[in-house]
Amino acid sequence: MNRKILKLATPSILANITVPLVGMVDLAIAGRLGDAASIGGIAIGTMLFDLLYWNMGFLRVGTGGYAAQAYGRRDFKDSIKVLVQAVGTALLAALFILAIQYFYIIAAFQIVECSPDVERMAREYFFIRIWAAPATLSLFAFKGWFIGMQNTISPMVTDIVVNVLNLVLSILFAITLGMGVSGIALGTVAAQYVGLFTAITLLTIYYRKLFHYINLKASLKIREMKNFFILNGNLFIRSASLLLVYSGFTSLSARYGDELLAVSTIMMKLMLLYSYFVDGFAYAGEALTGRYIGARDLLSLKKAIKGLFFWTFIVAAVSTAAYMFAGEPIIRLLTNNHSVIEASEPFLPWLLIIPLISCIAFMWDGIYIGATAASAIRNVMLISAVSFFATFYLAEEAIGIQALYLAYAMHLVVRSLLMTLYAKKEVTGKIPVTS
């Protein structure tokens, strides 16, 4: 089983390594454009896209779970139907996002509190990057489908193409050509469309034999699409709840000024850095859980879950050790602003705590997604989001901005506990026990 897990997880980990590198390069570029407002502008701009895109997370999450179960049943007609519906939904959502972009940005800055300089840079970034929406959302669907089909090589190739090209173009446009924040956004747009072309090419290479199952008219009928949306509605709520936590972290940080917003942005990048390794095993969990539930193989499912958590705990322990020695040096790589570096010191202990308390939640996410336990995922995230905001507002008066980090940790603890409690019913309970 370990061999199967590593075969699925390793390509995802290799691809995921490029994700934080790109994000940190964007921050490093912004950090060298002049002042903390540049970092804040990228942070707020990115948050605005999270508000849009994370709610569409079901395009990857739901597609992967349903495709994996179809794979386990060897029902390739159904798996192709899921892909068609997911891509169709992605394109419709992208058109809607493009249509409302100006209304959205006006409403967003009625809520988000930040300095005029940060707002100006965030707007500049947003109105360029928004044109990547069709490619970005379509890639969600392709990635989920590839993973569900037990193929993590194709999303690895696609992710590496997108992220490396994004990195190179951001440096070229922002630094070499002197385009600043606009250059970072333009690099993202170009990379997303090249990535979409790559995904379509890989689909054609590996799955051409399944193309005869494609029936656009049947797959996109109102009744079929209605069922697709009903199945994914709970995952939409889950994504929205998760988004509330991360966007809340950024927007609440902005209350404390540009400097602490910059610190919180960097700290969140570092706290999530290790998760890109855990996500590789979560993707493997998604694929294997869906496959074994589809095949009604309870023994293999239980073995897979044990193996997945074994590797997850190893990643968390190694990550904590790495942060202990390299946390501050990494911050110095991300910014040369001495006041930001100095202000980050009180928050460094959180880098040692977060991996140990979050690895369980992240791993269960992948397993629950493979089990298509959508209602349970929804309920857990709603409760954990409430715990985040409740903890912050209860603790803010006593410990200030540190309450944000305490609240983030609390929501992870709640997720881990609840998903562990529900696992027997929502995961292994999906397979009837036969005598």
Using one digit for the tens of pLDDT, what is the confidence trace for 410-426?
999 999 999 999 999 99
pLDDT tens for each residue of 47-96: 788 778 877 877 887 888 888 988 998 988 889 998 998 999 999 999 99
The verdict on residue 95 lying in a domain is yes
Q: For the ranges 123-137, 270-284, 310-324, 333-347, which has the lowest average pLDDT? A: 333-347
The verdict on residue 161 lying in a domain is yes
What's the token pair of residue 13?
Answer: 């980990």
- Distance (Å, rounded) from C-alpha 340 to C-alpha 132? 31
Residue-number span of the structural domain to which 213 is assigned? 2-429
Assign 273 a pLDDT band (cuts: 50, 70, 90): confident
Dihedral sign (CA 65, 18, 10, 270): negative
CA–chain centroid gap for 310, Å, is 22
What's the confidence (pLDDT) of residue 38?
74
CB within 8 Å of 177: residues ≥ 6 apart: 183
**φ, ψ for residue 263, nearest 5 deg:** -60, -50
Assign 231 a pLDDT band (cuts: 50, 70, 90): low
pTM score, whole prediction: 0.81
CA–chain centroid gap for 210, Å, is 29
Are the C-beta atoms of residues 31 and 39 closer than 8 Å to each other?
Answer: yes
Which is nearest to 242 in space by CA: 414, 85, 108, 25? Answer: 414
Between 133 and 272, whose confidence is greater? 133
Whether residue 435 is predicted with pLDDT greater than 60 in this model: the reply is no
The verdict on residue 49 lying in a domain is yes
- Distance (Å, rounded) from C-alpha 24 to C-alpha 321? 20
Are the C-beta atoms of residues 410 and 388 closer than 8 Å to each other?
Answer: yes
The verdict on residue 435 lying in a domain is no
DSSP string, 234-261: HHHHHHHHHHHHHHHHHHHHHTT-HHHH
Residue written as tokens 């300089």? Answer: 117
Dihedral sign (CA 90, 91, 96, 99): positive
**φ, ψ for residue 400, nearest 5 deg:** 65, -140
What's the token pair of residue 372?
Answer: 């298509």
Are the C-beta atoms of residues 25 and 175 closer than 8 Å to each other?
Answer: no
Assign 145 a pLDDT band (cuts: 50, 70, 90): very high
- Distance (Å, rounded) from C-alpha 94 to C-alpha 126? 15
- What total number of domains does the chain contain? 1
Rg (CA), the chain: 21
DSSP 431: S
The verdict on residue 325 lying in a domain is yes
Mean pLDDT of 205-234: 80
When the pLDDT of each residue in the chain is averaged and rounded to a whole number, the result is: 87
Are the C-beta atoms of residues 372 and 65 closer than 8 Å to each other?
Answer: yes
Mean pLDDT of 6-22: 76
What's the confidence (pLDDT) of residue 237?
87
Are the C-beta atoms of residues 46 and 254 closer than 8 Å to each other?
Answer: no
What's the confidence (pLDDT) of residue 190?
95
CB within 8 Å of 283: residues ≥ 6 apart: 8, 9, 12, 64, 147, 152, 366
- Distance (Å, rounded) from C-alpha 90 to C-alpha 202? 19
The verdict on residue 434 lying in a domain is no
The verdict on residue 389 lying in a domain is yes
Assign 42 a pLDDT band (cuts: 50, 70, 90): confident
